[in-house]
Amino acid sequence: DSGVTQTPKHLITATGQRVTLRCSPRSGDLSVYWYQQSLDQGLQFLIQYYNGEERAKGNILERFSAQQFPDLHSELNLSSLELGDSALYFCASSVDGTPEQPQHFGDGTRLSIL
């Protein structure tokens, strides 16, 4: 058990809809990362937060947004969903978000767009 909790585990929805994925980091970790893993593109970095502030941005689409709240949990919002958004979405956390610190991964949310 990594200590990182992601909900929901599975999500099935339709094109054009909006969903929110939630991540609770490991106790004591201040930084949260979001990743997308799809069959055709593999793992991709989306965005990183540290103590409520955006720290780094990767290949995150404009239809997607994220935030980290004062209690350090994070949410990833996906809107105007397309079939290609079907993927596993992982959240990871680390103590201070520096490259030298290990990341602890949640079990992921599997998003299926019908």
Partner 1 sequence: KNEVEQSPQNLTAQEGEFITINCSYSVGISALHWLQQHPGGGIVSLFMLSSGKKKHGRLIATINIQEKHSSLHITASHPRDSAVYICAENTGNQFYFGTGTSLTVIP
Stretch that binds partner 1, among 19-27, 43-51, 68-76, 79-87 (CB under 8 A): 43-51
From 11, 61, 88, 95, residue interacting with partner 1 (rule: CB under 8 A): 88
If the CB atoms of residues 33 and 64 are measured against partner 1, the closer one turns out to be 33
DSSP-derived pairing of the beta strands 109-113 and 87-94: antiparallel
**Contact in structure between 66 and 45 (CB atoms under 8 Å):** no
Is 2 a binder of partner 1 (CB under 8 A)? Answer: yes
Residue closer to partner 1, measured from CB, 90 or 113: 90
Place of tokens 């809809």: 17
79 vs 105, beta carbon nearer partner 1: 105
Could you say which DSSP state residue 84 is in?
A: G
